[in-house]
Amino acid sequence: MIFTETRLKGAYIIGLEKRADERGFFARSWCEREFAEHNLNPRTVQCNISFNTRKGTLRGMHYQVAPSAEAKLVRCTQGAIYDVIIDLRPDSPTFKQAVAETLTAQDHKMLYVPEGFAHGFLTLEDNSEIFYQMSEFYSPQHARGVRWNDPAFGIEWPIRNPSMADRDRNYSDFSADDSKEN
């Protein structure tokens, strides 16, 4: 695997090292040892799939607070997404900064999202499917979110009026106090 750290410390784009021949290719998409060597949380306790029938569907920006803070490994297995993360770690030099990456089924790239980050995505194609590996179990009482278009983060989304759940659309403006739960 090829690990490329984003400008947000601890968040990585992970590419595949393909071994190809006339039949196609083989590649490792996860390795506990390689994750640990890059100081990434290698724990996986839950895997999720999000299937989205329409282009322009936005899900996020979600995170969990301690003791259920979670790391995620996100990959688009069908279609394409605009994947966004926000650093919500109050002591981080990149606090409140966001990074976006386009992930497609064709490029096989993955995004590693550390604990203390909000995560969300916007589908760029109909019938997009996203596969997540999670380091912690889903805990409704520890689930939180920030608004997708909150000016505190300055995210430039490629679609102006996405389809989304009311919950995601109606999160209040972010306050630094919100992240103290991390």
Residues identified as active-site: 62, 132
Residue type, 55: K
The contacts of residue 125 (CB under 8 Å, 6+ apart) are 55, 79, 80
User: Strand 72-78 vs strand 128-134: parallel, antiparallel, or unpaired?
Assistant: antiparallel
Distance of CA 75 to the CA centre of its chain: 9
Q: Which of 41, 43, 32, 46 is nearest to 12 (CA)?
A: 41
Q: Provide the terminal-to-terminal Cα distance of the chain, rounded to the nearest Å.
A: 29
**DSSP state letters, 15-79:** E---EEETTEEE-----HHHHHHTT------EEEEEEESSTTBEEEEEEE-TTS---EEEEEEES
